[in-house]
Amino acid sequence: MTLERPRGVRDFPPKEMHEHLAVTKKLESVFHSFGYERVRTPTFEFLSLFEAKSGEEIKDHLYVFDDKGGRSLCLRPEATASVARMYGSDLRTHPKPLRLYYVEPMFRYEQPQRGRYREFWQAGVELIGGAGPYADAEAILMASNALTAIGLENAVRIGNIGFLRELLGGLGFDDAKQNKVIHALDKGEMDSVAEMVSSDIFNEVIGLHGGLDAIDRLLELAPDGLKASVEGFRKTIGLLSGCKVDYTVDMGMARGLDYYTGIVFDVKATGLGAQNQVCGGGRYDRLIGLFGGPETPAVGFAFGVDRLVEALNEGGKAVETPRCDVYVASVSEAVRERAFSIAAAVRSGNPGLDVRFDIAGYKVNKALQHASEVGARYALIVGERELAEDAVVVKNMESSTQETIGISGLNPYFSSKRAPD
Ligand code: HAM
């Protein structure tokens, strides 16, 4: 019998679990501040959901299996396709735009390495039924705000696959040929891009990089039919500048997924090595229609939560693990039951307080040592003498001072000493 974990999956002992949840909680509070509501989709889906538009990167890395009825299923590698499917089947009559988010594990059969797992967590948002610069800017602003909230730098790189596809379409590239160029761009295989596309304009466009100046040049280079789309792009960038978002336009940016039809963006964190992309997203206006729903514009992104936590730890911004607030011990077996009920009363009188009863029944010195090992802020010691006067001893573990406090005064005492959240 083997007790090893499968490759590429992780355990989350308490510290890691706490870090993960603390980061997710902060992301969620930013999502809520923009009015996004949480949804959940199935862990496995029909394989066909991901075959159409997920792109080579993902299609080659699916966990595929047949169920007992012979249906071809797979573990979800991402949730955008699932949310698009859910919208088309269940939510299409809801007032638009719909602001949705999810925090779920995803599965990709990739070569495991630092920051790249076979099961990993995404916190993602999808803004469905919103077209144009305000929707694009909202998605990018929210990603940037969420990174600020957790304390990470957030320079967003913004490209425009929609524009590149239009340009390629004008040069006679069909969808399949466009995908090839986009994938080569995504992988940074510039020689192969130059081989496939000989247009000077295209080659200058993918080299454009910077701020509004890059968009000015894009406008000059754009064929007449694409100038309006560049104006829209400029508006998005202007909105982001107005909100002080740190961004760079990079027209050579592409993404591995095939469903993007407009802007694309990502954020890379420092100190993570090769797998440093902590956020990726973009506009996908044709995915919902492809799944049988009404053609509906949409934009979204997803954070890789595992990588966010790692980036915080790398940057010396580790999330603090919660400490025990009150450790309740007793001096003897005779008062132990009473100590147990005092612990219960302090716990229910102070919601949110971490109150731990000394289950082991240690002698006082050993109990205090254990209290200090678990980082307790206070030790509450129930002794026979004090109990006779309806009181207990409370020791402040940081200052090592102690005082005798009446049992009826314990709740107000601890509620005034609550550690901040
Ligand atoms: P994605 O870029 O494939 O986009 O994934 C989003 C994020 O998930 C990445 O930036 C990365 O942080 C994390 N991630 C991806 N693969 C792994 C892995 N093997 N191990 C650890 N983390 C990983 C999407 O999935 C799109 N659905 C995003 C989106 C939402 N676009 C529009 N709406």
pLDDT tens digits, 48-98: 999 877 766 677 899 999 999 999 999 999 999 999 999 999 999 999 999
**With a 6 A CB cut-off, is 117 part of the ligand 1 pocket?**
yes
CB contact at 8 A, 169 and 162: no
Atom 30 (ligand 1): residue with closest C-alpha? 301
Ligand 1 mean position, distance from CA 272 (Å): 15
CB contact at 8 A, 49 and 81: yes
Range list of β-strands (E), 47-188: 64-66, 72-75, 98-107, 119-128, 156-160
Please name which of 209, 306, 230 lies closest in space to residue 9, comparing C-alpha atoms.
306
pLDDT of residue 403: 96
Least confidently predicted of 20-29, 278-287, 314-323: 314-323
pLDDT level of residue 417 (50, 70, 90 thresholds):
confident
What is the spatial distance between Cα 349 and Cα 410, in angstroms, rounded to a whole number?
A: 9
pLDDT of residue 421: 55
Distances (CA, A) of 139 to 107, 127, 135, 289: 24, 8, 6, 21
Whether this model's pTM surpasses 0.95: no
Q: Residues 24-49: what's their mean pLDDT?
A: 97
Instruction: Read off φ and ψ for residue 367, nearest 5 degrees.
Output: -65, -40
pLDDT tens digits, 113-133: 999 999 999 999 999 999 999
**With a 6 A CB cut-off, is 110 part of the ligand 1 pocket?**
yes
pLDDT level of residue 2 (50, 70, 90 thresholds):
confident
pLDDT level of residue 141 (50, 70, 90 thresholds):
very high
**Average confidence score pLDDT of the chain:** 94
Distances (CA, A) of 11 to 16, 22, 119, 283, 327: 8, 17, 10, 34, 28
Ligand 1 mean position, distance from CA 80 (Å): 10
**Percentage of residues in the chain with pLDDT exceeding 70?**
98
Ligand 1 mean position, distance from CA 279 (Å): 7
Least confidently predicted of 76-80, 169-173, 268-272, 353-357: 268-272
Atom 23 (ligand 1): residue with closest C-alpha? 304
**With a 6 A CB cut-off, is 262 part of the ligand 1 pocket?**
no
pLDDT of residue 52: 76
**With a 6 A CB cut-off, is 276 part of the ligand 1 pocket?**
no
Ligand 1 mean position, distance from CA 300 (Å): 11
pLDDT of residue 60: 84
Atom 22 (ligand 1): residue with closest C-alpha? 304
Atom 18 (ligand 1): residue with closest C-alpha? 116
pLDDT of residue 420: 54
- For strands 119-128 and 298-304, give the pairing: antiparallel
Distances (CA, A) of 159 to 51, 156, 210, 215, 296: 25, 10, 11, 11, 21
**With a 6 A CB cut-off, is 128 part of the ligand 1 pocket?**
no
Preceding omega of 14 cis (within 30 degrees of 0): no
* Token output for 165: 């596809």
- For strands 247-250 and 156-160, give the pairing: parallel
Instruction: Read off φ and ψ for residue 171, nearest 5 degrees.
Output: -90, 5
pLDDT of residue 292: 86
Residues 6+ positions from 253 with CB-CB distance below 8 Å: 157, 158, 159, 185, 264, 265, 266
Q: Residues 269-293: what's their mean pLDDT?
A: 92
Q: Given the CA of residue 77, which atom of ligand 1 is nearest to it?
A: 25
pLDDT tens digits, 155-202: 999 999 999 999 999 999 999 999 999 999 999 999 999 999 999 999
**With a 6 A CB cut-off, is 53 part of the ligand 1 pocket?**
no
